[in-house]
Amino acid sequence: MIQIQAFEMFLSSPACKIEVPERLTVSHEALVQSGLADRCVSIPVREATDADILLVHSEEYLEAVKKTPYMTLEDLKEFTLQYGDVYFHPNIYHCAKLAAGAALQLVDSVMTGKVRNGMALVRPPGHHSMRSAASGFCVFNNVAIAARYAKQKYGVKRVLIVDWDIHHGQGVQYSFEDDPSVLYFSWHRYEHQKFWPQLRESDFDSVGKNKGVGFNINVPWNKVGMQNSDYLSIFCHLLLPVAYEFNPDLVLVCAGFDSAIGDPEGEMCATPDIFAHLTHLLMNLAGGKLCAVLEGGYNLTSLAQSVCQTVQTLLGDPAPPPANLDGPCKSALDSLHCVRSAHRQYWSCLKHAEEEEEEKTLDKGEEGNSIEEKVWPEPPKRVTPTIRTAVVLPDGVTCPDGCKRFSSSEDLDPLIISKLNDVSGFMHAVLGLLLPLAYEYDPTLVLLVRMSDAGLCEIVWQQLTGLLQGLAQGHMLVLMQDGEKECVGPTASSLLGYPAPSLGQLPAPLPEDVASIESLRHRLKADWKLLQTTGDFTT
């Protein structure tokens, strides 16, 4: 579902060169040109109400912003000076209500099942705005309001917010740092606090407060030039294990694309196709309920390409082969190690993190302020298969035409629950070992063989089938033993692109499972760089 808000195009302040109206028009135009727009549902935008906005912001802040349409340009300038890097325009209050309202419309559409997932292409962005202050082009915190709204209106218990914008969404962090029901994950250009907004609390040791400890995860990028491998490593060895343990009911993405190559703010080197994989890897959480809301992204070419890569994956199309996976750089591994260590006491999937030893890595990160113009190949054309899933079946087994619904894991009988520990260990192996290794191997075909003695309950099998479709452009062959008839339906639903049911709250993986997985990972990581989780502190 694409949400293009009816946008007054003249909202551009001369003072702000990069947050320009063209960001939305080029993104929408690219979706139209690529044929993706026609495959989406568009829903009407609405203004956020005062009540919506007051879910996050204070009365005095809202009342102050309400006055801006009637201010003289002088008063506006005066009003703006009290905030950092935000540009008020007589029309920005109206637009900010539309941006927040669009995010809420998207939440309504996903939570009511009208659509499976979606993206709201909005301006102004939101993740820097705080309870009583605007900041960094942001007026109302669209995603923070959406999280509170989902909890209040739909009784959502746990919300995961993934902020892949290249700036730290301090506004989101402040909103939820003592709230264990909202897990906020952000990576951001930091350069040891030299990069905007230059906050001490953007570093990896800000883990949340009081009841919220462990539910705020900051990954600082202390060098520019981060590549696809760096982003994938963080997903496989940090975000995904924690996200599966957290078991969210809804995933919100602060979808900023200034973390892509060519962006003047981010100065990173990850190519637009990586967002297809980042999106895909989040789509089996929360039963597929995912709302992406645009934040930053200032290189109009990479912004448009990245938006298309994200939307095409939300539509269920196979992911492209990930470009240039040559392993994470030392700086990224140092950050990964610091964050995993800071959080090991809060997450059982990270409990063993302190046992890491150093790895031999070379440091490819560059110093900031690189001035050369970045060029990159257009993402490869992604085919939309006409026949998505062919099923060869022995007679007597009907061909499934949809997916079988599962009850939540709480209803599973005791026998299967006793297996859940194996499931935790299994997911630990899939996320931290199989996935990174498979991405680095970059196969052209995935052959998935289900041995009947695998003892894997079907939901885990569906998660596995779903996750592995990010590889080999979705070319997957599943072989099953004769006695697995009841697994044909769930397997077919995953192959058809239906999100796998949630695994529920996973207990800690068995120590012996972790030990065997970790020893295998330590053995293999000399040859498979995506298995590394710490940098070598000696040069």
Ligand X SMILES: NCCCNCCCCCC(O)(O)C(F)(F)F
Interface residues with ligand X (CB under 6 A) are 85, 125, 127-128, 136-138, 165, 167, 196, 256, 258, 295-296
Of 317, 315, 156, 167, nearest in space to 255 by CA: 167
Please report how close the Cβ of residue 297 comes to ligand X at its closest, in angstroms. Answer: 7
Catalytic residue check, 277 = no
Helix or strand (DSSP H, E) at 157: none
The DSSP symbol for 474 reads G
Radius of gyration of the chain (CA): 23
Please report how close the Cβ of residue 362 comes to ligand X at its closest, in angstroms. Answer: 30
Structure tokens at 291: 């709302």
Nearer to ligand X by Cβ, of 245 and 258: the residue is 258
Buried b (16+ CB within 10 A) or exposed e, 389-406: beeeeeeeeeebeebbeb
Given the rule CB under 5 A, which residues bind Zn ion? 165, 167, 256, 258, 296
Nearer to ligand X by Cβ, of 294 and 457: the residue is 294
Nearer to Zn ion by Cβ, of 256 and 322: the residue is 256
List helix spans (H) across 404-508: 414-429, 435-441, 458-468, 488-495
Nearer to Zn ion by Cβ, of 118 and 296: the residue is 296
Query: 516 and 486 in contact (C-beta within 8 Å)?
Result: no
Greatest CA separation for the chain:
78
Instruction: Report the residue number whose CB is nearest to Zn ion.
Output: 296
Query: 255 and 294 in contact (C-beta within 8 Å)?
Result: yes
Instruction: Report the residue number whose CB is nearest to ligand X.
Output: 296
Strand segments (E) across 213-309: 216-221, 250-255, 290-294
Please report how close the Cβ of residue 195 comes to ligand X at its closest, in angstroms. Answer: 9
Nearer to ligand X by Cβ, of 196 and 406: the residue is 196
Nearer to ligand X by Cβ, of 296 and 466: the residue is 296
Please report how close the Cβ of residue 166 comes to Zn ion at its closest, in angstroms. Answer: 5
**Residue of 128, 168, 188, 343 marked catalytic:** 128
Please report how close the Cβ of residue 165 comes to Zn ion at its closest, in angstroms. Answer: 4
Helix or strand (DSSP H, E) at 50: helix 50-53
* CA dist., res. 105 & res. 111, Å (int): 10
In which residue are the tokens 């290794």 written?
Answer: 437
* CA dist., res. 358 & res. 351, Å (int): 17
Nearer to ligand X by Cβ, of 298 and 528: the residue is 298
Please report how close the Cβ of residue 76 comes to ligand X at its closest, in angstroms. Answer: 19
Query: 438 and 472 in contact (C-beta within 8 Å)?
Result: no
Please report how close the Cβ of residue 168 comes to ligand X at its closest, in angstroms. Answer: 8
Q: What is the 3-state secondary structure (H, E, C) of 367-402?
A: CCCCCCCCCCCCCCCCCCCCCCCCCCCCCCCCCCCC
The option from ligand X, Zn ion, none interacting with 154 (CB < 5 to 8 A, set by class) reads none
* CA dist., res. 102 & res. 122, Å (int): 7
Backbone φ and ψ of 492, nearest 5°:
-60, -35
The option from ligand X, Zn ion, none interacting with 509 (CB < 5 to 8 A, set by class) reads none
Catalytic sites, residue numbers: 128
